[in-house]
Amino acid sequence: MPFKNMSLKTLIYISSGIMAFFLVFMVGMYFYIFSLELEGQIQTSFESLADNIETRLIECVESINESAKQYAYSSDIQTITFFDNPEEYFIAASPAEDVLNFILDSNPNISAIYIYNNKNGRNFSSDSSKRRIFSKALEEHGLTGGKNIDAPFFSTSFYDDGLKITPYVVYFYPFYNVRDRKFERNESAICVILCDLNHLIQWLDIDKSSRSAMAVLYEDSIVSSNRNLSEIEINALRNITDSHGKVSVGNEKYLSNSITLPQFGWKLVYMIPEKDLLGGIIRVRNISYILISVVMVLLFAMMMQLFRFVTSPIQQIVNDVRRVRKGECSRIRPVNVLELQELSNGINLTLESIEQAHAKERETQRKLYNAVIEQKQALIYAYRSQINPHFLFNTLECMRSMARHYNAIPLEKVISSLSAMFRYSLRSNTVVTLSEEIEHLKNYLNFMKLRTGSSFEVRMFIPPETFSHPILPICLQPIVENSITHGFTDSNGNHLKIIQIQSWISDISGESMLHVRISDNGCGIPEKKLKELVANMESENNVEKKYSIGLTILQKGLSWFSENRADLL
């Protein structure tokens, strides 16, 4: 079976994971379908808005053309443009001005109108301050000096009023003398209309959103815009090339469109934030996201709380059983689930019975262990008595006093070191610290230096953290003594004899272990002799020997100390 040997906790988590996956999948499908529908609504709304803007732009062109036709072919403008005598001009001047004001009022995209007759040089303007713009536009298009045009057109360049604040585009409309119902093709004039691009942009901006951006581009330069644009928005508008597309401004997405009219020679570009097209729907979507997310979090929290209520007592029993097996505790803690309390109580009764049986067995083993410890301690004291004769202590003290009396300072130092060594060996405890053992070793080295004439150098690398570590007394001296007496026997007299002592602490199975390394640069130990020493230390009957037992005794003592360390400390 696929769920064989699977824990209850794992099974519950797998089941909850599958449920959570299907729940997330269903919510994700809902959000995906909702997003697709929302995307379609946004695209439809934007396309409708784009069609309206394009329609209004075409209507604007047509209205400018109709206004130019209406103005140019009014009888009073015909009289003023093609008059023969001054009396007719003055009679028609006032009605012509009324017609002009009517056209300006009815078409807000027209800023000024200028009439120019190439044949007789007569002109008439609605705004004298704009004459400079009209004259410049006529001159740039070569319409002075009697030249005429056959069809209306817009200028592809832009003009300003000298302050470079308001951009203008000029519309040229040719018209002819039709007075007295006569159509004289050879007698014509030009109606020049000045259109304010800023006003045109505001009129085309039917979205009226404070975040929408619309601008007129001419040769990749923005001529006019519906509002002040940031540098990021300007770059985004310049990069709009498709008729319908999307651009990103910062972290927000915009729908974009561009309209190019051949008669203008420039391009109208605009972009609208997606959020502004749907407004309330976006808010509803966001609220739905939040509500569904909150419901999912609450549902997940409730499921996890239920699972924890079921699995925590079981896990507690399992952990307590493991702790009992490791010896960290002796009983199972009670649980809150009624069905599991009987199980925990039964385990505790079993543990109590086992503990009583083990207590009797431990008492028997303790008595036996104490007897063995006493026997081992007696053996250690017997070993130490072989190298620590007590009667020499008093003799050395007497010799040291005599050396001081006769002012034999070197002799006094030798006897003082020997006296300290024997005092340490006689009075030291079963276990000492490394610092005490090092102090004893220094006394021994002082004695040996005086004895050998300082023919060797001792280098100690003892970290402070090892000073207080427990160690058997007089366990380092035999090794150093072997270095002096055996390691340097065949060494060259000019060669510097070095004994190096190092100590460090390591962690073995959670218990700190002291390491001491004693090395020298002497002649070393022959392979055959080394094997013989190892064989002697491994032998069970080497204690009975009368010589070469220092290392063997040391090895036995350290083994005993390692086995009984917990009881000695």
Cα four-point dihedral sign 193, 199, 201, 203: negative
- pLDDT for residue 241 is more than 70: yes
Q: What is the pLDDT of residue 282?
A: 66
Question: Is 50 exceeded by the pLDDT of residue 543?
Answer: no
Q: Is the pLDDT at 360 greater than 50, yes or no? A: yes
Q: Give the rounded percent of residues in the chain with a pLDDT score beyond 90.
A: 2
pLDDT of residue 413: 76
Residue pair 78/184 in contact by the 8 Å Cβ criterion: no
Residue pointed to by tokens 């130019």: 68
| Sheet of 213-218, strand order | 221-225, 213-218, 267-273, 252-260, 244-249
What is the β-pairing status of strands 497-508 and 456-461? parallel
For residue 390, pLDDT over 60 is answered with no
Average confidence score pLDDT of the chain = 76
Comparing 43 with 80, the larger pLDDT belongs to: 80
Asked whether the predicted pLDDT for residue 513 surpasses 80, the reply is yes
* Banded pLDDT at 207 (limits 50, 70, 90): low
Give mean pLDDT, residues 152-165.
Answer: 72
pLDDT at 441 over 50: yes
CA–CA gap between residue 478 and residue 384 (Å, rounded): 12
Q: How far is residue 330's CA from residue 358's CA, in Å, rounded to a whole number?
A: 12
As a whole-number percent, the residues of the chain with pLDDT over 70 amount to 79
Q: Report which of 485, 519, 482 is spatially closest to residue 502, judged by C-alpha positions.
A: 519
Q: Which of 175-189, 487-501, 515-529 has the highest mean pLDDT?
A: 515-529
Rg of the chain in Å (alpha carbons): 56
Convert the pLDDT of each residue in 170-205 to its tens digit. Answer: 888 888 887 666 555 667 888 888 887 777 777 777
Which token pair is 279? 């407004």
Do the beta carbons of residue 273 and residue 211 sit within 8 Å?
Answer: yes
Rounded CA-CA distance 556/121 in Å is 134
pLDDT in tens, 391-429: 666 777 777 777 777 777 777 777 777 777 777 776 667
Q: Where are the alpha helices (DSSP H) in 327-466?
A: 338-387, 391-405, 409-427, 434-452
Identify the sign of the CA torsion 300, 304, 305, 307.
positive
pLDDT at position 295, please? 82
Q: What is the DSSP string of 22-63?
A: HHHHHHHHHHHHHHHHHHHHHHHHHHHHHHHHHHHHHHHHHH
Report the range of poorest mean pLDDT among 97-101, 297-301, 423-427.
423-427
What is the signed CA dihedral for 552, 555, 558, 562, rounded to 10 degrees? -130
3-class state of residue 107 by DSSP: coil
* Residue closest to 245 by CA, chosen among 52, 36, 43, 32: 43
Can you state the percent helix, strand and coil of the chain, rounding each to 5? 55, 20, 25
Burial class (CB in 10 A: 0-12, 13-18, 19+), 114: buried
Tell me if 464 sits within 8 A of 500, measured CB to CB.
Answer: no
Give one DSSP letter per residue of 325-342, joined into a string.
HHTS-SSPPP-S-HHHHH
114-118, 224-228, 511-515, range with the lowest pLDDT: 224-228
Cα–Cα distance between 318 and 345 in angstroms, integer?
14
User: Sign of the CA dihedral 126, 131, 133, 135?
Assistant: positive
For residue 517, the model assigns a pLDDT of 92
Give the number of other CB atoms < 10 A from CB of residue 188: 18
Choice among 43-47, 51-55, 71-75 with the minimum mean pLDDT: 43-47
- CB-based contact 249:232 (threshold 8 Å): yes
> How far apart are alpha carbons 341 and 349 in whole angstroms?
12
Handedness of CA 201, 202, 207, 209 (dihedral sign): positive
Say if residue 34's pLDDT is above 80. no
Read off the pLDDT of each residue in 533-558 and give the average, rounded to a whole number: 66
Q: What are phi and psi of 467, to 5 degrees?
A: -60, -40
State the Cα–Cα distance between residues 222 and 14, nearest whole angstrom.
61
Task: Kindly report the backbone phi and psi dihedral angles of residue 363, in degrees, each rounded to the nearest multiple of 5, phi listed first.
Answer: -60, -45
Q: Is pLDDT at 10 greater than 80 in this prediction?
A: no
DSSP per residue over 264-293, as a string?
T-SEEEEEEEHHHHHTHHHHHHHHHHHHHH
Distance CA(219)–CA(307), nearest Å, equals 68
Could you tell me which residues are beta bridge partners of residue 159? 168
Asked if the model's pLDDT at residue 1 lies above 50, the reply is no
What are the phi and psi torsion angles at 335 (to 5°)? -115, 165
Across the range 37-41, mean pLDDT stands at: 69
The whole-number pLDDT of residue 502 equals: 92
Q: What pLDDT does 217 receive? A: 75
